[in-house]
Amino acid sequence: MLQQFKDAIESSNIISKTDTNGIITFVNDEFCKISGYTADELIGQNHNIVRHPDVDKNDFKKLWETINSKKIYKSTVKNLAKDGSTFYVNTTIIPILDENDEVIEYIAIRYDVTKEMFYKEELEKNEVKQKILFAQARHASLGQMLANIAHQWRQPLTELSLTVFNLKKNALSNEEAVQKYYDESKNIINSMSKTIEDFSNFFTPNREVEQFAIKLSVEEALELMDNSLKSSMVDVELRIQDELEVLGVANELTQVILNFLKNSIDAFELNGVLIRQVDITIRRLKEFAEIEFRDNAGGIKKDIIERIFEPYFTSKHQKNGTGLGLFMSKMIVEQSFGGSLDVKSKKHYTIFSIKIPLA
Ligand SMILES: Nc1ncnc2c1ncn2[C@@H]1O[C@H](COP(=O)(O)OP(=O)(O)O)[C@@H](O)[C@H]1O
Ligand SMILES: [Mg+2]
């Protein structure tokens, strides 16, 4: 029976034995297969023949401390095969004791986890890639914001130059008019400086996680876009069915709503829609807050709706679209708020739905 147990283990695992100095005394076929060495090449060699240079010296120290004190050592180990390739093994090293309780040899039982480890590494690489994309997306949205300020300033600047012109015209003859144009100018300048203040407040890296009212964050977005919405003649209705609070960075949610609004405005103009309606509804769904964002800007065609959250996916002309807005929005909702972002489109409507766990 012992022989049968031995056969069973040997045929399904990678097995080696070493003496107390770490010199290999036995290897099975599986060990030869994964390491690329023959049994003759291995027996008599120190076990560090498969040691990978990436592995920290302290790991070996810990290994030897463990097995020298007659305990079982378990770990996932990175090894080097004869041909220079890497393999990973889930390793258990068992000290074998004699009748005097002295270690006489070590048996190592391993199984191959190379595929799993490479998969894990791949995932980690992807995560880094996503972070870089996210940073790029933020950067791009900063550019969009600047464009937005420029847009918001266009009208008051025109007014201002007209007022200053009037001021000059009346400077010598009409004191009353001068005062009037002066006050007007001051008002315009104040409101322009407020615009820039709003935007810079929005972009100070206020990354603090806090409990905040969804309503405020949505209203902030509407305020920042007020001029653009008006000049594009978009009617926005905000329906607050429940006063709800969530946990996260308030500015980031504002950013998501801004992205939606900008996309709606783009779609309204692109599709030449005459009556332009955006409805935003905040409501409670069990343990979640839902923000439903709906426009009648033409809808999203079936063949692209699957792709709109992909980074760099845009249906717009290059100078109008970066394809990062919705990607970034989804990242914010999922990663910062632990929620979900979905889209539906029917006929000429588009509905984005954000669900965020309640605070
Ligand atoms: N409200 C909307 N109506 C119609 N299409 C939309 C809407 N929102 C997004 N889209 C589509 O999704 C695409 C991706 O949006 P986004 O990630 O913001 O990138 P961008 O706006 O730079 O194109 C847009 O190019 C557009 O085709
Ligand atoms: Mg966009």
Within this chain, do residues 217 and 197 fall inside the same structural domain, yes or no? no
pLDDT at 131: 80
Is the CB of residue 264 below 6 angstroms from any atom belonging to ligand 1?
Answer: yes
Q: State whether 214 and 358 are in the same domain.
A: yes
User: 177 and 120 in one domain?
Assistant: yes
**CATH code: domain of residue 107:** 3.30.450.20
Quote the CA–CA distance of 349 and 299 in Å, as a whole number.
Answer: 5
Nearest-atom number in ligand 1 for the CA of 323 is 19
Quick one: tokens of 186?
């001051």
Say yes or no: CB of residue 15 within 6 Å of ligand 1: no
CATH number at residue 154: 1.10.287
Residue 323: per-residue pLDDT: 84
Residues 318 and 255 in one domain: yes
Short-list 27, 55, 25, CA closest to 39: 27
Q: Are residues 131 and 259 in the same domain?
A: no
Q: Which numbered ligand comes closest to the C-alpha of 265? A: 1
Indicate if 125 and 262 belong to the same structural domain: no
What is the Å distance from ligand 2's center to 160 Cα?
A: 31
Indicate if 48 and 174 belong to the same structural domain: no
Please list the pLDDT of the chain residue by residue as tens digits (359 residues).
899 988 888 888 999 999 999 999 999 999 999 999 999 999 999 999 999 999 999 998 999 999 999 999 999 999 999 999 999 999 999 999 999 999 999 999 999 999 999 999 888 888 888 788 777 777 777 777 777 778 778 888 999 999 999 999 998 899 999 999 999 999 999 888 877 777 776 666 666 789 999 999 999 999 988 888 998 999 999 999 999 999 998 988 998 999 999 999 999 999 999 999 999 999 999 999 999 999 999 999 999 999 999 888 999 886 678 788 898 899 889 988 999 999 999 999 999 999 999 98
Of 184, 204, 224, which residue is a domain's last?
204
232 with 128, same domain: the answer is no
Which one-letter DSSP state was computed for residue 269? H
Q: Verify that 347 and 299 share a domain, yes or no.
A: yes
Supply the pLDDT for residue 201. 67
Do 37 and 105 share a structural domain? yes
* 234 close to ligand 1 (CB < 6 Angstrom): no
> Which pLDDT score is estimated for 202?
66
Helix, coil or strand: residue 113: coil
Task: Report pLDDT for 268.
Answer: 97
Q: Which residues surround ligand 2, an ion (CB under 5 A)?
A: 263, 325
Residues 334, 331: Cα–Cα separation, whole Å = 5
Q: How far is CA 286 from CA 36, 217, 342, 355, 356, in A?
A: 58, 21, 17, 11, 11
Q: Which sign does the torsion angle of CA 44, 50, 54, 60 carry?
A: negative
- Supply 220's token pair: 């902030």
| pLDDT at residue 351 in the model | 98
* Whether residues 142 and 244 fall in one domain: no
Q: How many domains does the structure of the chain reveal?
A: 3
Both 191 and 211 in one domain: the answer is no
Choice from 263, 306, 329, 343 to test ligand 1 binding pocket (greatest atom count within 8 A of CB)? 263
Domain that holds residue 272: 206-359
CATH of residue 339's domain is: 3.30.565.10
Q: Which of 65, 83, 112 is the last residue of a domain?
A: 112
Select from 68, 97, 112 the last residue of a domain. 112
